[in-house]
Amino acid sequence: MKLVRIHFAASITTLLLLVSATAGQSGFNYLYNYYFPKNSQDVRATYRQYFDKLLSGGPPPASETKRATELYRALRGDDAAFHAFLHNPDWTVQGAPGEECVYDSVLLLLRLGDDRFSKLLAREDAETRNKVGYAIDPQIDWNKHQFPKTRALYSYRHVRPSQDHPAK
């Protein structure tokens, strides 16, 4: 009888862990679909195609940028890769590389979640934290999705133009 109880308790624990992991994954999938819809009519569809390959495939080929490898590894929980990504020279490049860093950062936030992303970001200096805030803050719909631990780490706040007062 005692063995049955132990087996039952172990089964319940395993089931709860599985449900918790599935809930986390479904939360990511919801946010991923929201911020990078497959059928959007803008640049997010292009990022979605690239990110789908990055999330489900093997490591990027050697012909890809160093940042792509850092992102790939950071998405899988590599702390050093996260740090290297935040300090990649592409952040300072005008045009596509800089824009890609913005969307890559949003993906990392969604994938790692507020707890993990904020813990890693908290290890960085204030300049780096603010750089990340400047990148992600305009991308997040703060009325729908809250990342309070991450947002507490930087001072920048994007203010959307008022719908009531069109620009002149």
Q: Is residue 110 part of a domain?
A: yes
Which of the pair, 18 or 57, is modelled with greater confidence? Answer: 57
Cα angle vertex 97, ends 35, 99, to 5°? 35
Q: Which domain holds residue 37?
A: 21-151
What burial letters (b/e) apply to 20-39, b meaning 16+ CB within 10 Å? eeeeeeeebeebbeebbeee
Rounded CA separation 104/112 (Å): 12
pLDDT at 103: 98
Q: Is residue 87 part of a domain?
A: yes
Residues 6+ apart with CB under 8 A from 76: none
Q: Is residue 13 part of a domain?
A: no
pLDDT at 168: 40
Domain count, the chain: 1
pLDDT at 113: 97
Rounded CA separation 6/11 (Å): 9
Q: Is residue 116 part of a domain?
A: yes
Task: State yes or no: pLDDT of 18 exceeds 70.
Answer: no
Q: Is residue 29 part of a domain?
A: yes
Task: Dump pLDDT digits (tens) for 61-89.
Answer: 999 999 999 999 999 999 999 999 999 99
* Closest listed residue to residue 135, CA positions, set 109, 164, 167, 111: 109
pTM for this entry: 0.80
pLDDT at 159: 87
Q: Is residue 44 part of a domain?
A: yes
* Closest listed residue to residue 106, CA positions, set 78, 80, 142: 142
